Amino acid sequence: MVHALVTILTFQLAGEVLSRGLGLPVPGPVVGLVLLVGAMRLRPALAEWLRPVAQGVLGHLSLFFVPAGVGIIGHLPLLREHGVALLAAILGSTVLALVAGALAFTLVARLTGQEER
Looking at residue 114, what is its pLDDT? 79
Domain boundaries, the chain: 1-59, 66-117
Looking at residue 116, what is its pLDDT? 63
Looking at residue 49, what is its pLDDT? 94
Q: What pTM was estimated for this model as a whole?
A: 0.57
Q: How far apart are CA 110 and CA 86, in angstroms?
A: 36
Per-residue pLDDT of the chain (117 residues; tens, 9 = 90+): 899 999 999 999 999 999 999 998 988 999 999 999 999 999 999 999 999 999 998 888 888 788 888 888 888 999 899 999 999 999 999 999 999 999 999 999 999 887 665
How far is residue 37 from each of residues 11, 18, 30, 88, 105, measured CA to CA in Å? 10, 16, 11, 35, 26
